[in-house]
Chains A and B, each alone.
Chain A
Amino acid sequence: MASLSALGADEIGSKGTGDEFYAWCARGELRLRRCQACREWCHVPRLTCPNCASTDWAWEQVKGTGRVYTWTVVHRAMHPAFLGDVPYAVLVVELDEGPRLVSGLVDCPLDELVMEMPVEVVFERSDRLGDRVLPRFRRISKPAAGDAR
């Protein structure tokens, strides 16, 4: 929605949903918005359900497992808050429930990061651009054969 680029976050009728999302993370729970009318998951969270136009949302817990759908490793920080973190990975994790989450990698050397790698959520406090508990992901080293997760 390119027209948003002219407006500040305070001006567009939505201040975002980060406070709620990260409040759940601080309790160690990964929860996403789920439409209570059609049961579709929705990330990023929206005001109306893109599938059925309902506004009846709940924050429902997801399993916290998925796979690395794609990623980049940043070697040159473009924001000063991350100058001390390079090189660092940005993951796009496809959760088992379907939605994809932008996140980061923990407990895994960057050169062992591979596409489709099974991962699970861990929670990690960060002071980058605000003090939050972030959902990050670590490798599931030996997924059991046939494990539905």
Chain B
Amino acid sequence: MADQGRSRACIVGIGETKYARDKTASNTNLGLQLEASIKAIADAGLSRRDIDGVMPFLNLANAEEVMANLGCDKVRFAATVAMGGATPVASIALAADVLAAGRASAILVPAGIAAFSGPRTRELVLDPARLPGGVHAADYYFPHGYTAPMQWYAVMAKRHMYEFGTTREQLGAVAVAMRKHAQLNPNAVMRGRPMTMADYLASPMFADPYLMLDCCLETDGAAAFVVTTEERARDLAKPIVRVEGAGAAQPHPADEITNRRDIFRTGLGNAAPEAFGRAGVRPSDLDFAMIYDCFTFELIHQIEELGLCKRGEGGPFVEGGRIELGGELPVNTHGGLLSEAHVVGINHVIEAVKQLRGVCGERQVANAELGVVTGWGDFGDGSVAILSRG
């Protein structure tokens, strides 16, 4: 178990908007994030003027407009980690270091996107200049119709199935588990729309091996959290959630997905050992895991890269209800990007905090004391945070 004696950064406030798919909504990325930020600051028992650090998500908001709208006039640290969906969890790691260095005392991390009522992913990816490694994608990916995340990652899933015998039903087990969890989450977009393995298998093929139901949702929503020092956290309103260890890393090369000698080695595999080492815990100590599930195989892949099992054993790991509530290691009890909402990975942090606070109601993991959250972004950037009930 983690060393309780050391001072750690703590997540003290969380906020979320409603997660929804409504084409007529007039949401903006910034508006959603401000709503979530105000809730997170209030949840922490802080005032907006207490926020002296801001870490927005690249291209979804910038620190200046967040600070200006929220009336945060004492900000002395503003930075953006550029790791795509790995950003919110990577921001925890950087925020912890900034707090330890005394460069800020209360850091707001907002993220969110109007990805249903606003421009859809299929529109955003039309311009390769927007992408990581965009020059290479424009020259060498797009001419062959290799234009979108589901296609970029599908080739990794396909190779994994070939090398390790990972099966269609194992991918399906991930999708089914996420949907099952979403039925217990009032804010999940897919609540009320249960799904069976037969439904999964019958969904249309998008990019082999990815069926429609292997792919995450496009939704409107935002969330935010506040990180502060342990000393300060002890004086605030909510139960403490400590950051026991956190880190982030890129794969090599980071800007091109197909020429990695080891195609399965991602940033998470590089970051995880140090994070577990700092936390002083082992994967077997975890009570739950929140894993960035942009596509079903990427959840299996990250289970391996986290070190929860050996390379190639991620498929069997997710079978038999092991990652479902009541199983050996519940994963994404909120329903994840696949069935709650695609809030660029910050919703996984929120759910981890809720589990450690013990406020998850009928989806609560009994006696949840230690959990892990991951992020995945761009062409395989990875981030990890190990959180504990303080």
Contact B125 A76, beta carbon cutoff 8 Å = no
CB distance from A137 to the nearest CB of B (A): 10
B residues contacting A by CB (< 8 A) are 58-59, 82-84, 121-122, 125-126, 128-136, 138-148, 150-151, 154-156, 158-159, 162, 204-210, 212, 250, 253-256, 258-259, 263, 377-378, 381
Grouping DSSP codes into helix (H, G, I), strand (E, B) and loop, the B interface class, with mixed when no group exceeds half, is mixed
Contact B159 A78, beta carbon cutoff 8 Å = no
A residues contacting B by CB (< 8 A) are 1-10, 12, 14-18, 21, 43-44, 50, 69-82, 85, 88, 90, 92, 99-104, 115, 126, 128-130, 132, 134
Contact A79 B135, beta carbon cutoff 8 Å = no
Interface centre among B59, B122, B212, B259 (most CB of A within 10 A): B259
CB distance from A108 to the nearest CB of B (A): 15
Q: Can you sample 11 A-B contacts with CB below 8 Å?
A: A2-B58, A5-B58, A21-B139, A44-B139, A69-B263, A70-B159, A76-B205, A78-B150, A79-B142, A79-B145, A100-B259
Contact A44 B256, beta carbon cutoff 8 Å = yes
Contact B143 A9, beta carbon cutoff 8 Å = no
Residues of A within 8 A of B381 (CB): 2
CB distance from B148 to the nearest CB of A (A): 4
Residues of B within 8 A of A129 (CB): 142-143
Contact A88 B145, beta carbon cutoff 8 Å = yes
CB distance from B174 to the nearest CB of A (A): 18
Contact B263 A70, beta carbon cutoff 8 Å = yes
CB distance from B159 to the nearest CB of A (A): 4
Additional pairs, 14, CB under 8 Å, beyond known A2-B132, A43-B259, A130-B143: A1-B132, A2-B84, A3-B82, A5-B58, A5-B130, A9-B134, A44-B140, A69-B159, A75-B208, A76-B205, A78-B147, A79-B147, A82-B147, A129-B142
Contact A4 B133, beta carbon cutoff 8 Å = yes
8 Å CB contact of B146 from A3, A43, A102, A115: A102
CA distance A139 to B372 in the complex (A): 45
CA distance A76 to B155 in the complex (A): 15
Interface centre among B121, B122, B154, B155 (most CB of A within 10 A): B155
Residues of B within 8 A of A99 (CB): 259
Contact A16 B136, beta carbon cutoff 8 Å = yes
Residues of B within 8 A of A85 (CB): 145
Given that A1-B133, A5-B132 are known contacts, is A71 also in contact with B82, CB under 8 Å in the complex? no
Residues of A within 8 A of B263 (CB): 69-70
Q: Which residue on B lies nearest to A69, using beta carbons?
A: B159
Interface centre among B122, B143, B204, B210 (most CB of A within 10 A): B143
Given that A15-B135, A44-B140, A70-B156 are known contacts, is A6 also in contact with B256, CB under 8 Å in the complex? no
Q: Which residue on A lies nearest to B158, using beta carbons?
A: A70
Q: Which residue on B lies nearest to A86, using beta carbons?
A: B145
Contact B138 A18, beta carbon cutoff 8 Å = yes
